[in-house]
Amino acid sequence: MHHFFVKQEQITEHGICITGGDVNHIRNVLRMKPGEQITVSSGENRKEYRCELVQMDESCVTAKILWADQPDAELPSEICLFQGLPKGDKMELIIQKAVELGACRIVPMATRRAVVRLDQKKAESKQKRWSAVSESAAKQSKRMRVPEVTRVMTFAEAVEYARRYDRRLIPYELAGGMERTRSLLSAVRPGESVAVFIGPEGGFDEQEIALARAAGIEPVTLGRRILRTETAGMTVLSVLMFLLEGRES
């Protein structure tokens, strides 16, 4: 069943008005008709609405609410992926998989060893595209919210931004002690927020690791093998999902 996101103000007691690009998608791409059913959520109240399409015009698709449910589709912890800018279109894949694995936010970072350099105009364009990828992945994976993709930050800005998170980890190839990694990941409790820093293809340089350490971000190892940038973040997110899924305390 197709899933769509709306703002909370678009939901009334009896109906929902779907606007924007989803109107064209429903009418002209999916070619849906009145009487067909969809699911809708706003991401604000964690409710999922089962709806029946009633009326479709060029600016609004009106859907009647049949019932509302509160499915347990979100992780009990807020996880943010801080991702060093990778080459090519890898960022789209990273965002897609991060959303599927339960990340609530993705922060693109311009790091010292990143090959990609974006000026303001390109960065804004990329952010718009990445946000669309996040929304598409959220729909596909039946998320209750669309994870935010922030503006591109410098590493120093990202470190400062991460201070709001309870636990902060930075996989680093020179970090040692797999037992310590296991201990830190296993210690994350439902309700705690987690920041995960992933470097680009060239990894983080020593000055960036020093800055992270000074801010209380814990370097960890992901094993004896060197993981690609598009693999490292998914590894941490997968472990956290496994540890947190369905836990209440």
Q: What pTM does this model have? A: 0.84
* pLDDT at residue number 160: 97
Instruction: Tell whether 85 and 180 lie within a shared domain.
Output: yes
Instruction: Tell whether 58 and 178 lie within a shared domain.
Output: no
Domain boundary among 69, 88, 119: 69
The answer to whether 161 and 107 have CB atoms below 8 angstroms apart is: yes
Q: What is the CATH number of the domain that holds 133?
A: 3.40.1280.10
* pLDDT band with cut points at 50, 70 and 90 for residue 249: low
Instruction: Tell whether 87 and 43 lie within a shared domain.
Output: no
> What is the layout of strands, in order, in the sheet containing 37-41?
3-5, 37-41, 48-56, 61-69, 15-18
Q: Which of 7-16, 20-29, 240-249 has the highest mean pLDDT?
A: 20-29
Task: Please count the other Cβ atoms lying within 10 Å of the Cβ belonging to residue 159.
Answer: 23
Residue 117, SS3 per DSSP: coil
pLDDT at 174 over 90: no
202-244 tens-digit pLDDT: 899 999 999 999 999 999 999 988 899 999 999 999 999 999 9
Q: What is the mean pLDDT of residues 59-75?
A: 87
Instruction: Tell whether 140 and 228 lie within a shared domain.
Output: yes
Can you list the positions of beta strands (E) in 172-227? Answer: 194-198, 218-220
| Residue 87 in domain | yes
Q: What is the CATH number of the domain that holds 40?
A: 2.40.240.20
Residue ranges in 30-177 assigned as alpha helix (H):
90-100, 120-140, 155-161
Instruction: Tell whether 102 and 83 lie within a shared domain.
Output: yes
* pLDDT at residue number 18: 95
